[in-house]
Structure 1
């Protein structure tokens, strides 16, 4: 498993809720490549709750949407946007969890449409939420026009 370098850091106007470290109210997500999967580890807190000690479903959907985008960035080296996100909430996710693990991978690609599957696991390894994202791909020219210069790995392999 290796950390993925954020290609958007330092770009003027970049303030993504999901992955920008400088966004004071953001999720500050990091991403790692693990074979065919892209993985993110995230620590929830009470600021993201819906019900008492339960992670808001909209926040879960946001985290899953974000990692789906990073699957596309890293695996296809292109940008685009989510055109559909289907989320299945299987069991509550507690804001008191030590760590959540999000994992995404490409399920299918047909021309400029990519289907990405995502899971959200609690700290016990139980899948609490599943999502399928349909992602519309920009071509390489449009991706570059939007400031995307590629998504690369950094550092040495991390063993967990």
Structure 2
């Protein structure tokens, strides 16, 4: 596979709706580490719309949530010198829909870590842009799960 994204490289069997390569009906975002940021480009389809020409808010939330989650996992992997990213889950996230997000062209996601606390909780910020204009912003907190959690080893 040429230039695999984080999801394809580390979680090829993941069935998550937003980021799982194994979910045929999912969004299948493809996140790539670029220095201190994680980026992704994604193309909406008409069935992702809230109304003609505008992306559904729930889809926007899923894109930002999954992309920030992978940003946190990548950060923990790099900062702890791990061979693969730990399985992380969302503790909380918030999305600000700043303007209608068009669905007629590619969208660009960018996320970056703003903090990691003593408990290993990773804070992330992200933006979703269309045509070079930021449409949506998000913040979130993510944590690696331990044995016994339903998401442990899901990747």
> Deviations for 1:98-149, whole angstroms, at most 9, x for unmatched residues?
x101011101111222110010010x2111000001113336x789x92378
TM (norm. structure 1) is 0.78
1:130 aligns with 2:137: yes
TM (norm. structure 2) is 0.81
1:147 aligns with 2:146: no
Report the Cα distance in structure 2 between the residues aligned to 1:23 and 1:136, rounded to whole angstroms: 23
Unaligned runs of 5+ in 2: 78-85
Structure 1 match to 2:96: 88
Change (3 A) 1:137 1:60: same
Aligned length: 142
Q: Any idea what SS the aligned residue of 2:123 has?
A: strand
Deviation of 1:70 after TM superposition, in Å, equals 0.6
> Deviations for 1:4-54, whole angstroms, at most 9, x for unmatched residues?
3431214xxx31112223322111111111110011100011111112221
Asked if the contact 1:87–1:129 (Cα under 8 Å) also holds between the matched residues in 2, the reply is: yes
Q: Any idea what SS the aligned residue of 1:91 has?
A: coil
Within a 5 Å distance, the mapping from 1:10-159 to structure 2 comes to 10=13, 14-77=14-77, 78-97=86-105, 99-111=106-118, 112-122=120-130, 124-138=131-145, 146-147=152-153
Report the Cα distance in structure 2 between the residues aligned to 1:107 and 1:54, rounded to whole angstroms: 30
2:12 to 9, 23, 37: 9
Unaligned runs of 5+ in 1: 150-160
Q: CA RMSD in A?
A: 2.4
Deviation of 1:2 after TM superposition, in Å, equals 8.2
Report the Cα distance in structure 1 between the residues aligned to 2:19 and 2:142, rounded to whole angstroms: 18
Asked if the contact 1:2–1:33 (Cα under 8 Å) also holds between the matched residues in 2, the reply is: no
Asked if the contact 1:7–1:148 (Cα under 8 Å) also holds between the matched residues in 2, the reply is: no
Instruction: Point out which structure has higher relative CO (alpha carbons under 8 A, 6+ apart).
Output: 1
Report the Cα distance in structure 1 between the residues aligned to 2:23 and 2:116, rounded to whole angstroms: 32
